[in-house]
Amino acid sequence: MDVAISPRAMICPNGWAGFIVLQGRAIVTAPSVSAFAAIRDAMPELSVEDLVDPEKLGCFLPLAEVLGPATLAYLDEHDFRATPPGSVSVERISAEHPDLRRLEVLAGEDDLEESGLREITSPAFAIRIQDDVIAAAGYRTWPSRTAHMSVLTAPGSRGRGFARLAGSAAVAHALQAGLLPQWRARAPQSQRVAFALGFRELGAQLSARLR
């Protein structure tokens, strides 16, 4: 298990501790020296899998708030199952496009925060019905050439394949850029979209705010 002090780590909200477990190995970021010391002291009592189990982690760390756990899944060009557009087209727009802001308002703050669409560094891949963007996807570039995928669909348009279609376009763009697509999902619906595109679950992530 590797622990590092990083107040602004990408794997968790600012000021939180981040825990990632991938294929039996763990990466942990602590927001401060005191949090680092608390996590380091708890390590001998915890297995790698315990780091993404809120109940077990809470036995040894003073958890004030937890996000997750969420699955982490990955794919390469051989795993990727692209979704054909059919009768619905995907439009490439700027990540700052005002129509995305309207989608974010429609989806609500909780779903927006979970999707991560506000943080993407790639173009956005959007689906319109009439003049309204009802789904969009993109990614944020992380270290080690990782593309952290984000997908958001308007509440009234879910369950119709739009997330998969927009996500497929974003994944294709990341692969063409030589990046490794990463899909983080807590909700079963998001996990199903990822698996439909060919992502394979390889680990889990949890974020914790310490008292």
Tens of pLDDT along 43-87?
A: 999 999 999 999 999 999 999 999 989 999 999 999 999 998 777
89: which residues sit within 8 A by CB, 6+ positions away? Answer: 127
> Do residue 180 and residue 78 come from a single domain?
yes
pLDDT digits over 144-173, tens only?
Answer: 899 999 999 999 899 999 999 999 999 999
Same domain flag for 49 and 85: no
Residue 191's nearest CA partner among 169, 163, 160 is: 163
Do 44 and 92 fall into the same domain? no
Would you state the pLDDT for residue 113? 86
Query: Residue 127 in contact with residue 166, Cβ under 8 Å?
Result: yes
Residue 75: its pLDDT value, please? 96
What amino acid is encoded at 10 in this protein? M
- Same domain for 15 and 95, yes or no, is no
- Of 71, 94, 116, which residue is a domain's last? 71
Same domain, 67 and 83: no
- With respect to residue 210, please indicate whether it lies within any of the assigned structural domains: no
Total domains in the fold of the chain = 2
Q: Residue 6 has what pLDDT?
A: 86
**Is the domain of 181 the same as that of 79?**
yes
User: What's the CA gap between 108 and 172, in Å, rounded?
Assistant: 27
Q: How far apart are the first and last CA of the chain?
A: 22
Co-location of 40 and 9 in the same domain: yes
Question: Is the pLDDT reported for residue 110 higher than 80?
Answer: yes
Reference 137, options 179, 103, 98; nearest CA is: 103
Q: Which two tokens stand for residue 184?
A: 């983080």
Q: Which domain holds residue 22?
A: 2-71
If you search the block for the tokens 């942990």, which residue do you land on? 28
Tell whether the model's pLDDT for residue 1 goes beyond 80.
no
Give yes or no: residues 80 and 174 share one domain. yes
Residue 187's pLDDT band (cuts 50, 70, 90): confident
> 40 with 135: CB under 8 angstroms?
no
* CA–CA dist 129, 135 (Å, integer): 9
**To the nearest whole number, what is the mean pLDDT of the chain?**
93
Same-domain check for residues 196 and 111: yes
So what's the pLDDT on residue 88? Answer: 86
Domain termination site, one of 47, 71, 95: 71
Asked which of 48-57, 95-104, 106-115 is least confident by mean pLDDT, the reply is 106-115
Q: What is the CATH number of the domain that holds 151?
A: 3.40.630.30
Higher pLDDT: 61 or 3? It is 61
Task: Report yes or no on 209 lying in a domain.
Answer: no
Domain end among 71, 104, 131: 71
